[in-house]
Amino acid sequence: MPPARVRSRRPRATAVAAALSLTVIPAALVAADAGPAAADSVGLPVVRSVMAADDTCVEASKVKARSEPWTMGALGAARARPLSQGAGQTVAVVDTGVGESAPALSGRVTAIGDAGKDCVGHGTFAAGLIAADPGAAAGPAGLAPEARILAVRGADERGGSTVGQVAAGIREAADGGASVIYVAAALADGKAELTKAVAYASDKDALVVAPLAPDALPRNAKPAPWYWPAAAPGAIGVTDYGPDGQRPTNAPVVGGADLAAPGDAVVSIGPEGSGHFIGYGASFAAAHVAGAAAQVRARHPKLSAAGTARRLTEAAYPASPPRLDPYAALTAVLTDEKGAVPRTERAEVPPPPAAEPRTRALIAAGVGGGVVLLVAAGAVVIPRGRARNWRPAGS
Residues serving a catalytic function are: 95, 122, 283
> Contact 152/112 with Cβ under 8 angstroms?
yes
Specify the pairing of strand 109-111 against strand 207-211: unpaired
Q: Is 144 exposed, middle or buried (0-12, 13-18, 19+ CB in 10 A)?
A: buried
Q: Alpha-carbon distance 223 to 48, whole Å?
A: 20
**Phi first, then psi: what are they for 297, rounded to 5°?**
-70, -30
- Residue 113 CA to residue 152 CA, distance in Å, equals 8
Beta strands in 206-301 (DSSP E): 207-211, 236-241, 259-262, 266-269, 276-279
- The answer to whether residues 90 and 127 touch, using CB atoms and an 8 Å cutoff, is no
For residue 56, give Cα distances in angstroms to 53, 74, 113, 290: 8, 34, 22, 29
- Calculated CA dihedral for residues 32, 70, 238, 78, nearest 10 degrees: 100
Q: For residues 329 and 80, what is the distance between their CA atoms, to the nearest angstrom?
A: 9
User: Is 130 buried (19+), middle (13-18) or exposed (0-12) by CB count in 10 A?
Assistant: buried
Distances (CA, A) of 311 to 80, 124, 280, 321, 341: 14, 27, 26, 15, 22
Among candidates 184, 172, 263, which has minimal Cα distance to 227? Answer: 184
